[in-house]
A = this chain, B = another copy of it.
Amino acid sequence: MTDSTVSRAGAASAKRRRLTAAAAEVVHRQGAERTTIADIARAAGVPVGNVYYYFKTKDELVAAALDEHARHLAELTGRLERLPDPRERLKGLVETWIGQRDVAARWGCPTGTLAAELDKRGEGGLDAEAGRVIRLLLDWAERQFRELGLPEPDGLALTLVSAYQGMSLLANALRDPEIMKREGDRLLGWLGSLPG
């Protein structure tokens, strides 16, 4: 494999990555339905006609955006996992949410809003895809609660993630980041009050 091959392949992958990142961001801000392939191409600095070499359909681009959010989630939980105490990990998660309150108030949770939008479609299976990303978070939280030795860790995870989605939606609908802070603090208190 020559250098130029490498660099060409590298450039191609870079384009794919740029498109994916652009899709994640633009779709988060505009919603999947209102986002145009041209919007994403422009944001990625890629000519429109070229997009189809990397993604056969618009739906594939939306799926890539979802994957991108899953990757962000994995990074976050990966960082949190370095903390020895599961309770601290969960608190760290909530603190991250609070830290992103301005984005949440403006555009909502990327995965949550996308899930809500995709669930309105009967076809394509993209809706299930969104659910899968949310379940990643759910599973991770459940593991933490289980490590803490708490009963019904899945129920606790459900409560935590549900609270996150709810407060993001309200913060977004009311355009008020303080909602994230207020409910986030309550969650921190709740986590602290749990036995184990």
A residues sitting closer than 8 Å to B (CB atoms) are: 29-31, 33-34, 107-108, 112-113, 115-117, 119-121, 127-128, 130-131, 134-135, 138, 155, 158-159, 161-167, 169-170, 172-175, 179, 182-183, 186
B33–A115 CB distance below 8 A: no
B113, A108: Cβ atoms closer than 8 Å: no
Q: How far is the CB of A104 from chain B (nearest CB, A)?
A: 11
Among all A-B residue pairs, the 9 with the closest Cβ atoms: A166-B166, A162-B166, A33-B33, A31-B120, A115-B173, A165-B166, A131-B173, A165-B169, A162-B167
Instruction: List chain B residues, Cβ under 8 A from A159.
Output: 163, 183, 186
How many copies make up the complex? 4
Give Cα A107–Cα B34 distance, bound, in whole angstroms.
20
Q: A165-B170, A170-B158 are in contact. Are A119 and B131 (CB under 8 A)?
A: no
A29–B158 touching, CB < 8 Å: no
CA distance A182 to B113 in the complex (A): 22
Closest to A187 in B: B159
